[in-house]
Amino acid sequence: MAAIHGFPFLLRPGRLVAVFAFLTALLPVLLAAPSPSRAADSLQEKLQSTRARVRTSEQSIASLTRTERKLFKDLAGVEDRLTAFADSLKKLEQEQTRLQERTENVEAALKESDRQQHRLLSHLSNLLRTAWPIMLQARTDTAAHLESWGNSSRQGTWIEKLYAGARRDLEALRIERATAREQLSSLEKLRKAATRKLAETEQSREELLERRLAFLKKVQSVRTQKLKREEELRRVMAVIEEIQSKIKAMKSRRIKDLKGRLPRPVQGRLTDRYSPDSSPPRRGVGFTAPGDPTVRAVSWGKVVHNDQLRGFGRVVILTHGDNYYTLYAFLSETSVRSGQKVEKGEPLGQAGFYPSAKGPGLYFELRFGQKAINPEEWLRVP
């Protein structure tokens, strides 16, 4: 770090880097092997209860899946029945069309019979008008007029045959009309039965459509519940992952396992942010310390520097293993000594006057070897 932002009187460029280079060379001697933490009992209990929630959610999802499959199976049965009803309706409508055509043909035949009957009756009437005078004349003829009577008799016989033929035609026509009426009656019964069957089939189809709609609503409801449970399961699994990560962090004293979980070194507001590309570059962060000025170690480590450093006031540097270091600057006093092992959260000293805070404050750096890294990515959000 060349200088802290806003303070050109601080350490010359390369001086702090040289300090860290010296500390890196001493790392094998200064580094203390950390022992695993056993303060994770409460998290283990929470992990067990969360896993129980996972089992409950999985059972609920499995039950909803079975319900969903059964609904789909029942729905498929309804769809098959609807298809069958559609075929039945089509056949019934075709049957009605055929019956209507047959009825129209029979009615047309009856109308033609009416016209034939009218013609036959008119013909019979004409025959009667012609035959009646001849018959009367034949009864009044005498023996003197035998020749005239014989002629009249022949005419009467001829007319009588014509009349008898017309009567036979009329009788055949009557039988034909009676048959047609019987056909019409049968066709009407068939049409009524087909109409009734069509209405019943349509009613059953409507009921099935309502049932299908009810099934679809149930499927939608089950699917919504299932999606909700799956989302809950994802959230619970995320909680489990978080708890496991915390347990790992609590059991591990290695700082590289604690990224994003390191406590702040001092209670206060962030004043200076990490900005290595600014001019002058800022390779750490600054905090105010208006209430509690106690500066604490962010992780387990060993004190490798505890002295005045020009431009930084009193500085404590800790090594945390794996080539990680933390720097705490502008301390008014310290409570540790060089070579001392410190616990996570152990007091290192008191924050002194920090120019950027215009009062009590702390400048803090995190380094990997000689390279400064962004502390904000490592510190836990308060």
**Residue 191, domain CATH:** 1.10.287.2610
Which of 264, 238, 262 lies closest to 252 in space, CA to CA?
Answer: 262
Task: Look at residue 363 and tell me if it is in a domain.
Answer: yes
Are residues 280 and 175 part of one domain? Answer: no
Q: What pLDDT shows up at residue 37?
A: 44
127 and 193 part of one domain: yes
Q: Is residue 336 part of a domain?
A: yes
How many structural domains compose the chain? 2
pLDDT, residue 247, reads 73
Question: Does one domain contain both 99 and 224?
Answer: yes
How far is residue 318's CA from residue 344's CA, in Å, rounded to a whole number? 11
Amino acid, res. 214: A
- What pLDDT score does 154 carry? 67
Tell me, what CATH number does 19's domain have? 2.70.70.10
Q: What is the dihedral of CA 81, 83, 85, 88, to 10 degrees?
A: -130
User: Residue 253: what pLDDT?
Assistant: 78
Instruction: Output the six-digit token pair for 175.
Output: 């039988």
Q: Which residue has the tokens 């001829």?
A: 158
Helices (H), the chain: 15-25, 27-30, 41-140, 146-251
Is residue 116 included in any domain, yes or no?
yes
Residues 141 and 26 in one domain: no
Q: What is the pLDDT at residue 250?
A: 66
User: Do 22 and 116 have their domain in common?
Assistant: no
In a domain, 250, yes or no: no
Q: Are residues 79 and 188 in the same domain?
A: yes
The residue type of 105 is N
Sequence-distant (6+) residues with CB within 8 A of 258 are: 249, 252, 299, 378
Please give the DSSP secondary-structure letter assigned to residue 5: T
pLDDT score for 127? 67
pLDDT lower than 70: segments of the chain: 1-40, 127-128, 131-156, 159, 248-251, 382
Q: Which amino acid is at 357?
A: A
Same domain for 113 and 175, yes or no, is yes
Say if residue 192 is in the same domain as residue 94: yes
pLDDT of res. 138: 59
User: Between the CA of residue 70 and those of 60, 63, 160, 272, what are the distances in Å?
Assistant: 15, 11, 85, 62
Strand partners, 326: 318, 366
Amino acid (1-letter code) at residue 190: L
First CA to last CA across the chain, in angstroms?
26
94 and 221 inside one domain: yes
pTM, two decimal places: 0.46
SS3 of residue 371 by DSSP: strand
Same domain, 211 and 303: no
Among residues 161, 160, 152, which one has the least CA distance to residue 133? 152
342 phi/psi in degrees, rounded to 5: -125, 150
Looking at the fold, whether 224 and 312 belong to one and the same domain comes out as no
Question: How remote is the C-alpha of 323 from its chain's centroid?
Answer: 49
Q: 132 with 85, same domain? A: yes
Find the domain containing 159 and state its range: 58-232
The tokens describing 307, both together, are 């002295």
- Residue 63's pLDDT is 92
Instruction: Identify the pLDDT of residue 50.
Output: 85
